[in-house]
Structure 1
Amino acid sequence: MLVFINFIAFLTVMGYAVYLFTNLVYSRILFIKLGKKSNLKEDTWKRVQEVLINVFGQRKLFKDKKSGLMHLVLFYTFFIIQVGLIELIIKGFIKGFEFPLGDEHKYFSLLQEWATFLMLLAVVYGFYRRYGEKVKRLQLKRDGKAAFVYIALGILTSSILLTLGFEKIMLEHEPNLAYAPFSGAIALLFSSIGSTAGTVLFYIFWWVHMITVFSFMVFVPQSKQAHELFAMFNIFFKKSGPVGKLRKIDFEDEEVEEYGVGKIESFTQRQLIDFYACAECGRCTNMCPASVTGKTLSPMQLIVKMRDHLTEKGAAITSRSPWMPSPIIGSSALSPGAAAQETASTLEMPNLIGDVITEEELWACTTCRNCEDQCPVGNEHVDKIIDLRRYLVMTEGSMPHEATRYFQNIERQSNPWGINRKERIKWREECDDLVVPTVNEVEEFDYLFWVGSMGSFDKRSQKIVQSFVKIMNAAGIRFAVLGNEERNSGDTARRMGNEFLFQQLCQENIVNFQALGVKKIVTIDPHAYNTFKHEYSEFGLEAEVYHHTELIWKWIQEGRIRPKKEVKESIAYHDSCYLGRYNNIFDIPRKILTSIPGVKILEIERNKEDAMCCGAGGGMMWIEETQGKRINVERVEQALQLSPTMIGSNCPYCLTMMSDGTKAKEVEEQVKTMDIAEIVEKSLFH
């Protein structure tokens, strides 16, 4: 009779918990479906590989080795313990039940005990990291839910061992410490209490475990632990292709009423999965240059705030409670997406931009992708920020005054300063001893050298251009420049949210390239390099695109150029975001520097994938920083910790920011700032 009552009670608790869990998960799926449909490539095998590497291999988590090991233990012991949970449940109804594994069951028992104990150790260590060691990124959100997770997991694991220990006393079994070391130790410790007390304590801890299991199951979908359900799908459905590639807007679609994202359901369904996949680990914010220097932007909080907004708005649209939803979707026959479009306008909800996310947050982003590179669940923050900027710029016409001036100058003169476009080739006047032909002055050329606005108009960047021209002349390269026919690449305009201006420039440039029969393009600008290589192809460009460091290294390998003269410099090398994290080019610049006699490379603490942005990306080169510390000064301070004689870079924007940083620190006389092309030129000719 007691067994029957126990069974009915268990089914009742489990049934209600499963009902709540199912409805909670289903509601989140409905909220995600409010978004626009995503057009994803059907590259299934590649997506499976990403899941294997990043979910089962836990690759991103090991960027923090201590945390990575802890999560690896939690991840795999969780699956092992779930198998044992089935046996443990049945033990509550059938005394002494064991899986029919015969003599091999002792090995199953040993695996279960060690998995449980290791999970308990991992939980204790996680608790210590957050509340003892007080790791900075784990203090970003303190709402008590993290403590609940540690307490629940602690109870889950310890109750397993206690249940198994008192079972041995209940059954009057002699504990085998070789195959049940932890529950066996508990049985020995309490062996004097007798089988009756052992039985009572067995069922007490059995129920403690079951109630904790089901409570945690209901808790998971409504907390950051939802990443346990959504992270795998988030990584599987992650946008394929080049990282950081932005969504194209079809301006010929007459049904579009607004450009960009002004309300949460205007994101794609793929983007909305990110919100529930977020683990709130703070890794993104910990590496964000804006956050590190005291700006209001926190990539983690950005995702969390939009997730909470989606849950609140989604519940209102679908008439479902965000935590205990009704099984009835509602009387509307509309699909979730259509219902959202019809219903959202009638809801009195906070504005996505202004109430949920501030404009200051959006304009603090440098689009460096450090947040995305760190994220263990594959969240993409930058494309959402750009979509929100697009709404501000193209729908609302709201932007910083510097952005307005930038767009006007690009539209009128095709450069950020508004300098007469006919002066774009003026830099060539200082190259009397060099061969710098325009496309109209030669019949054939192998490479079109895209000088860019920085190289054409900025005095400091012109020196990079001149150095690279000298290198090409020395290597015997047939190249040409567009001269005054060159326009802006449009990359910065796109990142600042003016997609219309970008597409206009993109199409004009492609028409020009095609008319000239351009097959290869080289540029000193990683931003132009990235957009030509990965984004122009969507609009019809068919050409090989190179960054100048790629070709310099190629020519060194071919013996076309030979850096011979000693350059006695200790160089703190700074990785450009758009060459590094966007295009995974880290080694080539270092190989070039290594090939130069006398050069000593100093690695800044944050280097390669973890390198901190100079502060110029995403249009921030043209927008004044009004909050916190200047990003370029922070980056220069990191470099100065190595006591270098020079800071090296591979980008005109980075060079400008590093130069301004050394001036701000009043060390410009002691620490020079140079591009790799300039350093190579010194070794070739000086």
Structure 2
Amino acid sequence: MLSTPERIAFLLLALVSLLLTAHGVSRLVRAIGRGQGRPRWSLFVRRVVPVSLDILLQRPIFRARPWVSLLHAGIFFAFVFYGLVNILDILEGFTGFTTLHRGGIAGAYNLVADLLSVAALVGMIGLLFRRFGLRPFRFNERVLLLPSVRFGIARDSAIVGGFILLHVGSRWVGQAVRIAESGHSDWSQPTASLVARLFTGWEVETLALASHVTWWLALGLILAFLPYFPYSKHIHLFMAPLNLILREERPLGQLEPPVARDGQLGSERLEQLRWFQILDAYACIMCNRCQDVCPAHGTGRALSPAALEINKRYYLNRNLRAFAGGTSSPPLLEIATSKEAVWACTTCAACVRICPVGNRPMLDLIDIRRALVNQGDPLDPNLQAALESLGRYGNSFGKPARQRARWAKELPFTIKDARKEPVEYLWFVGDFASFDPRMQENTKTVAWLFHTAGLDFGLLYEDERNAGNDVRRVGEEGLFELLVEQNLRAFEKAQFRAIVTTDPHSYNALKNEYAAFGFSVPVYHYTEVLAQLLEDGRLTVRQPLAAAVTYHDPCYLGRYNRITAAPRRILRALGAELREMPRHGENTYCCGAGGGQIWMASDGEERPSEQRIREAVQLGEDLRYFVVACPKDMAMYSDAVKTTGYEGRLVVTDIARLVASAVGFEEAPVFAATEERS
């Protein structure tokens, strides 16, 4: 098909294109290599097959936006198959070999190529229409964006979209031209055969020229695009799989240890991030899914996880040669995100869970916090006070340790001291459940339920300290380690088989974070224990709950640790009518308290908890209870139901109170005292 000069020209162009592409990729690899640490390539061998299967089935993409994901899947499958298509098309150009009008494997190949070409064209047109028409790329005005980003996103989307349309379209039309040349349709290329009718009556010479032009256009576009490829969003096609395959196998609730350098902790500059945090920038597909689920951005604050990754990418694109060569980057607070954004994060991990390519923008924010705290940067006054109280008293309320279990004195029974006698369950109560007067009634309710069921449990009393989950997430690594050491010493004094926690934040720290310090004891949330007690008949429902309820999954219970079934088993056992909010289970929405936010003033237009209450009331006028299983949730939503004006319509209650009511809590002496005060 090609003349000898054309073959030589194609080979020379291909060589130049590949050399330029390799040069760009090598710079990119060196840039990623400037990050801290090194990948464990043993993970690649073990995970390449399962991760590749997930990618081929597009499972990460279909976590959200099903229709958009369907369009993307069409483009993806076409891209994968077009690797073979382009190789065979080159062979056809050089040798004259053709699959036209053939059966068997060739016919099946043509059919798949034909259908995937249409899928790619339809998918790309749909995505471009969505990007530039229905939902243009938007950030709120408080989000830090590099000057090159706004135009760059539109430009890169247009270039990649245009390339795919022209490349696939040229090849598809080229097949139609060749079918027209042959004089009859090809059953294995139904859509191209339809297009071929447009060329009926064309001269043979014209068809031959058109076939030639479409071949050069389809494959020439690849040669032109390849050098741009390392700088385009299309690079995610290789970087995203690498990101997923080489991702360290640690629980979502276990943070990476801080980057340590010359006595300093955290990351102030791009090269002080870990290697995979730089890789994140290239794996990012700029889909904005992380921004869509971010409670900080959703309430008008300065944070956008998407902007963080996109800023990193555009800084690297513009400075790749210098950065790859060893030049230090400006501070991350100048090129990636703002200080306001760093302190707006609730560490809810919604961005991490939703990301189809495995990015972890939340970790960048925590590493920047670590650096700021390490440098002594001024903190929010309320946060500073809370941290000082935690350092001095072991709790954020500034109360002496001897007052931690004062609530237990109001019970008509004595809770065992696990330091003095062995127990099956050590109850790690937590700060809010111990010290906040609004939460203490719930705490006494849980104690009464455990006691009524005959559960063998005890407390650490004044030896318990804050578990440190949120302390670590605000960047105070030293204080976190101090709290861990204090709690581990207390655990050594006690005899127990397992821990049960009230607070999901404490649950996460004890289950996931303490493992790095050699602590490996079973940890349960109190909803898991209550569910088992009900199912074992140790708690008996006497008064079924004939009411419509909705349940809010705490981030550190539902998303981080996937404990979503136990609370629902409880509600079913109580006879409640459970109505799910649109965002529930692992896809839950944050209350806004995590990541230290409960200690800080909010500068958002409203609070996430207020948005959540509005979401709940949409479930029906007869919805009675907004059920929580976290002391911080109880605090946040008790306030939110008032500020939104729904206090008289919706009752915010801890799930333990519903259990107590259903099993006959009113018979307990403590219940009457509780009701008199409420």
TM-score, L = length of structure 2? 0.91
SS of aligned partner of 1:617: coil
Decide which of 607, 617, 624 is 1:645's aligned counterpart. Answer: 624
Query: Residue in 1 aligned with 2:4?
Result: 4
Residue deviations 1:42-92 (CA, integer Å, cap 9, x gap): 556763365135312211211221122222222222222221212222333
Contact 1:50/1:235 (CA < 8 Å) preserved in 2? Answer: no
Moved more, 88-97 or 475-484: 88-97
| Unmatched 5+ stretches in structure 2 | 141-148, 667-678
The alpha-carbon distance between structure 1 residues 355 and 112, as it changes in their structure 2 partners (threshold 3 A), is closer
Taking the TM superposition and a 5 Å limit, the aligned residue runs for 1:421-440 are: 421-431=401-411, 433-440=412-419
Contact 1:130/1:138 (CA < 8 Å) preserved in 2? Answer: no
The alpha-carbon distance between structure 1 residues 111 and 407, as it changes in their structure 2 partners (threshold 3 A), is same
> C-alpha distance in 1, partners of 2:352/2:201?
57
> C-alpha distance in 1, partners of 2:439/2:49?
42
> C-alpha distance in 1, partners of 2:81/2:540?
59
SS of aligned partner of 2:427: strand
> C-alpha distance in 1, partners of 2:335/2:158?
29
Query: Residue in 1 aligned with 2:243?
Result: 234
Q: Does 1:271 align with 2:277?
A: yes
Residue deviations 1:105-124 (CA, integer Å, cap 9, x gap): 23322222222122212222
Query: Residue in 1 aligned with 2:389?
Result: 409
One-letter amino acid of the structure 1 residue matched with residue 596 of structure 2 = G
Query: Residue in 1 aligned with 2:290?
Result: 284
SS of aligned partner of 2:557: coil
The alpha-carbon distance between structure 1 residues 39 and 444, as it changes in their structure 2 partners (threshold 3 A), is farther
> C-alpha distance in 2, partners of 1:39/1:209?
37
Q: Does 1:395 align with 2:406?
A: no
Q: Does 1:152 align with 2:160?
A: no
SS of aligned partner of 2:417: coil
* TM-aligned CA deviation for residue 581 of structure 1: 0.7
Contact 1:24/1:221 (CA < 8 Å) preserved in 2? Answer: yes
Contact 1:350/1:356 (CA < 8 Å) preserved in 2? Answer: no
Contact 1:649/1:655 (CA < 8 Å) preserved in 2? Answer: yes
> C-alpha distance in 2, partners of 1:356/1:303?
7
> C-alpha distance in 2, partners of 1:526/1:118?
45
Residue deviations 1:117-136 (CA, integer Å, cap 9, x gap): 22212222222332343377
One-letter amino acid of the structure 1 residue matched with residue 387 of structure 2 = F
Q: Does 1:21 align with 2:21?
A: yes
Query: Residue in 2 aligned with 1:594?
Result: 572
Taking the TM superposition and a 5 Å limit, the aligned residue runs for 1:151-300 are: 151-169=162-180, 172-249=181-258, 256-300=262-306
SS of aligned partner of 2:397: coil
> C-alpha distance in 1, partners of 2:49/2:436?
45
* TM-aligned CA deviation for residue 536 of structure 1: 0.5
| Unmatched 5+ stretches in structure 1 | 320-339
* TM-aligned CA deviation for residue 259 of structure 1: 0.7
* TM-aligned CA deviation for residue 23 of structure 1: 1.4
Q: Does 1:683 align with 2:662?
A: yes
Contact 2:625/2:652 (CA < 8 Å) preserved in 1? Answer: yes
* TM-aligned CA deviation for residue 310 of structure 1: 4.0
Query: Residue in 2 aligned with 1:578?
Result: 556
> C-alpha distance in 2, partners of 1:471/1:359?
45
One-letter amino acid of the structure 2 residue matched with residue 129 of structure 1 = R
Query: Residue in 1 aligned with 2:443?
Result: 465
> C-alpha distance in 1, partners of 2:227/2:176?
28
> C-alpha distance in 2, partners of 1:262/1:20?
32
One-letter amino acid of the structure 2 residue matched with residue 266 of structure 1 = Q
Query: Residue in 2 aligned with 1:330?
Result: none
* TM-aligned CA deviation for residue 530 of structure 1: 0.6
Residue deviations 1:497-552 (CA, integer Å, cap 9, x gap): 00110011101111210222343111110000011001101112131111001111
Residue deviations 1:149-180 (CA, integer Å, cap 9, x gap): 222211111111221222345xx422224223
One-letter amino acid of the structure 2 residue matched with residue 675 of structure 1 = D
The alpha-carbon distance between structure 1 residues 49 and 559, as it changes in their structure 2 partners (threshold 3 A), is farther
> C-alpha distance in 2, partners of 1:49/1:455?
46
Contact 1:48/1:236 (CA < 8 Å) preserved in 2? Answer: yes
One-letter amino acid of the structure 2 residue matched with residue 56 of structure 1 = L
Query: Residue in 2 aligned with 1:323?
Result: none
Contact 2:613/2:641 (CA < 8 Å) preserved in 1? Answer: yes
Contact 1:77/1:119 (CA < 8 Å) preserved in 2? Answer: yes
Decide which of 321, 338, 355 is 1:358's aligned counterpart. Answer: 338
Alignment root-mean-square deviation, CA: 2.4
Contact 1:87/1:99 (CA < 8 Å) preserved in 2? Answer: no
SS of aligned partner of 1:353: helix
Moved more, 442-451 or 224-233: 442-451
Query: Residue in 2 aligned with 1:511?
Result: 489
Contact 1:137/1:285 (CA < 8 Å) preserved in 2? Answer: no
Decide which of 646, 656, 668 is 1:667's aligned counterpart. Answer: 646
Decide which of 451, 463, 475 is 2:429's aligned counterpart. Answer: 451
Identity among equivalent pairs (%):
29
SS of aligned partner of 1:585: coil
One-letter amino acid of the structure 2 residue matched with residue 307 of structure 1 = R
Residue deviations 1:320-363 (CA, integer Å, cap 9, x gap): xxxxxxxxxxxxxxxxxxxx4xx53xxxx532124532110100
SS of aligned partner of 1:668: coil
Equivalent pairs, count: 652
SS of aligned partner of 1:476: coil
SS of aligned partner of 1:648: strand
> C-alpha distance in 1, partners of 2:40/2:654?
39
> C-alpha distance in 2, partners of 1:557/1:60?
35
Residue deviations 1:398-446 (CA, integer Å, cap 9, x gap): 3222221111111111111212332212212322x23323335x52211
Q: Does 1:87 align with 2:93?
A: no
Q: Does 1:376 align with 2:387?
A: no
Contact 1:137/1:281 (CA < 8 Å) preserved in 2? Answer: no
> C-alpha distance in 1, partners of 2:433/2:49?
41
One-letter amino acid of the structure 2 residue matched with residue 59 of structure 1 = R
The alpha-carbon distance between structure 1 residues 110 and 543, as it changes in their structure 2 partners (threshold 3 A), is closer
Q: Does 1:134 align with 2:173?
A: no
The alpha-carbon distance between structure 1 residues 592 and 158, as it changes in their structure 2 partners (threshold 3 A), is same
* TM-aligned CA deviation for residue 102 of structure 1: 7.2
The alpha-carbon distance between structure 1 residues 38 and 668, as it changes in their structure 2 partners (threshold 3 A), is farther
> C-alpha distance in 2, partners of 1:187/1:522?
70
Query: Residue in 2 aligned with 1:485?
Result: 463
Residue deviations 1:471-506 (CA, integer Å, cap 9, x gap): 111110111111122111111110100011001110
* TM-aligned CA deviation for residue 14 of structure 1: 1.5
One-letter amino acid of the structure 2 residue matched with residue 107 of structure 1 = A
Query: Residue in 2 aligned with 1:307?
Result: 313
SS of aligned partner of 2:276: helix
Moved more, 552-561 or 175-184: 175-184
* TM-aligned CA deviation for residue 292 of structure 1: 0.9
> C-alpha distance in 2, partners of 1:307/1:3?
42
The alpha-carbon distance between structure 1 residues 387 and 161, as it changes in their structure 2 partners (threshold 3 A), is same
> C-alpha distance in 2, partners of 1:317/1:608?
42
> C-alpha distance in 1, partners of 2:513/2:4?
66
> C-alpha distance in 2, partners of 1:673/1:108?
60
Query: Residue in 1 aligned with 2:145?
Result: none
> C-alpha distance in 2, partners of 1:619/1:350?
27
The alpha-carbon distance between structure 1 residues 398 and 554, as it changes in their structure 2 partners (threshold 3 A), is same
* TM-aligned CA deviation for residue 39 of structure 1: 6.8
> C-alpha distance in 1, partners of 2:584/2:378?
36
> C-alpha distance in 2, partners of 1:655/1:558?
28
